Amino acid sequence: MNEQEFDEQLQALHDRVLSKALSVEEETNYTESLFESIRHINEYGQEFWYARELQIALEYKEWRNFKKVINKAKTACTASENEVSDHFVDVNKMVNIGSDAERELEDIQLSRYACYLLVQNGDPRKKVIALGQSYFAVKTRQQELIEHFEDLDEDAKRLAIRKEMKEHNKLLVAAAKDAGVETNLDYAIFQNYGYMGLYGGLKAKDIKALKGLKNSQNILDYMGHEELAANLFRATQAEAKLRRENIQGKDNANQAHLAVGKEVRSTIERLGGTMPEDLPTPKKSIQQIEREQKKKLNE
């Protein structure tokens, strides 16, 4: 691949995602698709982004201009008392320039935190910069929660996982829609198959009855952190399976969600865990916890 082909492929990636006229509902999903599609994992399981790929995604035409933003991000990294070398790693790629000749192409491997600093210092007039600021701020915060998860109390764990669940449910909705699950009724049926797999045949209405909830109350708002984590795993794996296997048709999507739910249940059983329907229902809803925390902040 020569440099021109490299740039063309990156531009095509950008156009495929951002050329669409996005609705508010779609925006989050496409933002996720854009930045996750250029995320890489190294041999140690660590994630990173290439600066030249991010350059295209963030609509910077010239590398020299993007380098100015990178330098600002490095300065911010130093100011926050973080090692620049931990988050910005210089690398060189060999690219074909024709006639069997190659030359080195300067690039930088960026951590998630480096990307966050970079979009914070980008051109605020670009819509994609605003999207990137939101995306990397949320993801960086989520990473912090993961690293300190065991230090959180039960309420904080529930809030953290419930927030994750909301984000992943958006991705699951998009994947299901691409598979042919289009109407609200279709999606309710699709969700029921996931619940039936995870809860040993119980549907959403059965779980609500078991928890003593009203029809208007959301099941996910009345789960402890362990039950929420099981459902988060179900949602992430169902979305991944639909995408990975390019599943098409409502019936096939329903069966895929059922299979994922059963597999998560089987995993819990193998580990000697408590089945989700046997876990206690918290007395406080997620909304009550949020109100309590907001009240504390205002005191």
Q: For the stretch 7-25, what's the b/e string if a residue is b when 16 or more beta carbons lie within 10 angstroms of its beta carbon?
A: beebeebbeebbeeebeee
Are 131 and 182 in the same domain? no
Q: Measuring CA to CA, which residue among 159, 160, 214, 220 is closest to residue 194?
A: 220
**Same domain flag for 122 and 222:** no
Structural domain boundaries enclosing 128 = 3-147
Angle between helices 112-120 and 127-147 (to 10 degrees): 140
Q: Read off the pTM.
A: 0.55
Q: Which residues contact 247 (CB under 8 A, 6 or more apart)?
A: 179, 241, 253, 256
Q: What percent of the chain has pLDDT over 90?
A: 42
At residue 90 the predicted structure's pLDDT band, cuts being 50, 70 and 90, is: very high
- The secondary element (H helix, E strand) that includes residue 164 is helix 154-179
Distance, CA of 184 to CA of 161 (rounded, Å): 24
**CB 152, CB 145: distance < 8 Å:** yes
Same domain, 198 and 265: yes
- Sequence-separated (6 or more) residues with CB below 8 Å from residue 250: 179, 180, 181, 186, 189, 190
Give residue 281's pLDDT: 94
Report the DSSP beta bridge partners of residue 101. Answer: 98
Domain edge (last residue) among 99, 120, 147? 147
Both 10 and 109 in a single domain? yes
- Whether the per-residue pLDDT at 254 is higher than 60: the answer is yes
Q: Looking at the structure, do residues 143 and 162 belong to the same domain, yes or no?
A: no
- The answer to whether residues 94 and 135 belong to one domain is yes
Q: Has residue 110 got a pLDDT over 70?
A: yes
Q: Do 219 and 94 fall within a single domain?
A: no
186 and 127 part of one domain: no
Query: Are 184 and 119 in a shared domain?
Result: no
In our burial notation (b when 16+ CB lie closer than 10 A, e otherwise), range 30-66 reads bbbebbeebeeeeeeeeebbbbbbbbbbbebeeeeeb
| Structural domain count, the chain | 2
Statement to judge: residues 66 and 132 lie in one domain: yes
**Could you write out the DSSP letters of every residue in 11-56?**
HHHHHHHHSS---HHHHHHHHHHHHHHTEEE-TTS-EEEEHHHHHH
Q: Which of 107, 132, 147 represents a domain boundary (last residue)?
A: 147
Q: Is the pLDDT of residue 236 over 90?
A: no
Tokens of 233: 């795993």
Please tell me the predicted confidence (pLDDT) of residue 21.
38
Shared-domain flag, residues 19 and 132: yes
Same domain, 82 and 202: no
pLDDT value, residue 200: 96
The bridge status of strand 47-50 relative to strand 39-41 is antiparallel
Looking at per-residue confidence, does 210 or 46 come out higher?
Answer: 210
Q: Name the β-bridge partners of 50.
A: 109
Q: Which among 32, 72, 66, 69 has a CA at the least distance from the CA of 52?
A: 66
Of 129, 147, 165, the domain-final residue = 147
